[in-house]
Amino acid sequence: MNEVNVSADCADKRKADGKLNNKGFSLVEMLIALTIGGIVLSALVVLIQSSVHNFTKQTAQAQLQSDLAYMKHRLGEPGAVNRVAQLILKITEERK
């Protein structure tokens, strides 16, 4: 009798053209969607990591250029070389 109920359920789900009226996603469709989603997500993670790395590198380079411009400005002042030389001597004497 169980087979009759299953057959009756399938018969109720059939459309006029004879196809089953299945609503929802099959397991294969879900696996394909998850695979595509995983690929897109991993590509996004790689892109974000690359962007963060480039940002960090460019920020450090900009800071270095700024420091260099400041030192050029300071060394251009009268007596700057003497002050730097005295500072270096003082540091080396303290380390002894």
pTM: 0.51
Place of tokens 């080396």: 92
Which three-class secondary structure state does DSSP give residue 21? Answer: coil
End-to-end CA distance of the chain: 100
Instruction: Kindly report, residue by residue over 65-92, the tens digit of the pLDDT.
Output: 888 888 878 777 777 777 777 888 888 8
CB-side exposure of 70: number of CA atoms within 13 Å? Answer: 6
Q: What is the mean pLDDT of the chain?
A: 80
